Structure 1
């Protein structure tokens, strides 16, 4: 573990530390003395940041800091659930396409191209029209947007492994195709999957925030960073701290995820990682 971190540059370490801090803040936020995010009239309406209310208050007099902390947890959790589900499905489909080839490869690859052609916002409008706005719709949209990325990456890596000697030897020894994929191919592509998962998480957070900003994500009293941005945008001219605080936290979270993805990539590619430091 320490040798891996020794190959990571300082900026990536900062991103990893920031990501850990934000995740821990989101998880333990309800147990910290930050105030009740749902308490109406905790302070003056739309008051500016102060020692008592570091992020100010919203239009109902609720302290905005605990609401932002709730938003961190909601955005991370929803995006992570969607991306993990997508990673499992995309890895399976990518291995099937790359290993079997032929009709299976054509069907999976063309299906990924079709999904890739849909803009995330358009897919969100279509899914929300069918399923209604909410967290399930947001998970579906994130899955539709990130699934082609997983399929393409896993398919490409699997194609490069399918003709390797140890794969051919396993097939000659009588191993079934599924055993070959699970026992021999999956361990060799897991690094690429993890790297893609980190980048897909940042994409998922952007999509979730955009959907919530448009009112297609989680609904009140559910709070995410995107819904807090939408809430603050109505008072931007005389209470800009609502947008600035939630927007800054969202930007920091996405930056931290991307920097962590770079760190994971450099750790899995030592030569490339040393050339960048």
Structure 2
């Protein structure tokens, strides 16, 4: 039998693959953008952020520019989204409402993320009676339906955009506390944590430098999903008259104003409703993609199928 020449590359096939020096954030971004739905969500949210930053620059009319002779005008070239019962341009109010909705969502989730992650981190790391006390308090908050709890907080603080941010932040704090605590319980006994403790590192330093970075992934995923629900909550509160107050534009407030004219001016409710739908959908699909990309097992499976390459 003729001798078979062996390719040197094949001889080395059993050697371990070279380490991937690609930064983790870049691999995550590559995996997320390989998902078409997630890419759609990311592009949509970037556009919304630009709209919120430019606000009045993009709006063709002032958000409170009353033009009574043009009231309840159907969509035209001059008013692509039509006009409302006071003759105000619906497109301008939808564009300016993006700023309110995103601002409320980001600030509310930022408050709940900071408070909830701190509570969950301390409870999970310290354990014992402090853990029981903190988590039972979170269970009490979590037991109430989110919108009812937000309404109760606003009943105490009073209606308004700022108070709506605080109310939504309080409502979502238990969710972040639970996520942070569960992740902390699985991390606090890792070898690197025990090594830092044996080296004399303080508890605060261990939590800040060793535990918090390793529980960041599930917290980030939860934040992206909570942003969608925070925007929905703001729209619901404004719809009920407890959030953004007239004449300031808000998608929920516009829905509330449009419900009285559904028969003769359907566009008053349709376009702000579509804005809420697209925004919430974008946050949800982006959150799902982040969850898969930040999960090591899911990320490895996606990379093996060629995603993100």
Task: Report the TM range for the smaller structure's normalisation.
Answer: over 0.9
- State whether structure 2 residue 127 is matched by structure 1 residue 75: no
Distance 1:31 1:101 in 2: 52
- State whether structure 2 residue 270 is matched by structure 1 residue 252: no
Distance 1:43 1:268 in 2: 55
Distance 1:127 1:146 in 2: 13
Deviations 1:172-218 (A, max 9, x none): 11111111000111111111111111111111111111000000101
Whichever of the two has the greater Rg, that structure is 2
Q: What is residue 32 of structure 1 aligned with on the other side?
A: 58
Q: Which runs of 5+ in 2 are unaligned?
A: 1-24
Q: Which structure 2 residues correspond to residues 129-208 of structure 1 after superposition, within 5 A?
A: 129-208=155-234
TM-score of the superposition, structure 2-length normalised? Answer: 0.85
The alpha-carbon deviation at position 170 of structure 1 amounts to 0.8
Distance 2:69 2:287 in 1: 40
Q: What is residue 241 of structure 1 aligned with on the other side?
A: 267
Distance 1:127 1:165 in 2: 43
Q: Over aligned residue pairs, what C-alpha RMSD do you find?
A: 1.7
Aligned to 1:7, the other structure's residue is in SS state helix
Q: Which runs of 5+ in 1 are unaligned?
A: none
Number of equivalenced pairs: 277
TM-score of the superposition, structure 1-length normalised? Answer: 0.95
- State whether structure 2 residue 31 is matched by structure 1 residue 7: yes
Which is bigger in relative contact order (C-alpha 8 A, separation at least 6)? 1
- CA 67–43 in structure 1, closer or farther in 2 if over 3 Å, else same: farther
The alpha-carbon deviation at position 267 of structure 1 amounts to 2.3
- CA 4–131 in structure 1, closer or farther in 2 if over 3 Å, else same: closer
Q: Which residue, out of 134, 139, 146, partners 1:113?
A: 139
- Which range moved further: 209-218 or 112-121? 112-121
Contact 2:120 2:178 in 1 (8 A): yes
Q: Which residue, out of 44, 47, 59, partners 1:21?
A: 47
Q: What is residue 98 of structure 1 aligned with on the other side?
A: 124
Q: What is residue 152 of structure 2 aligned with on the other side?
A: 126
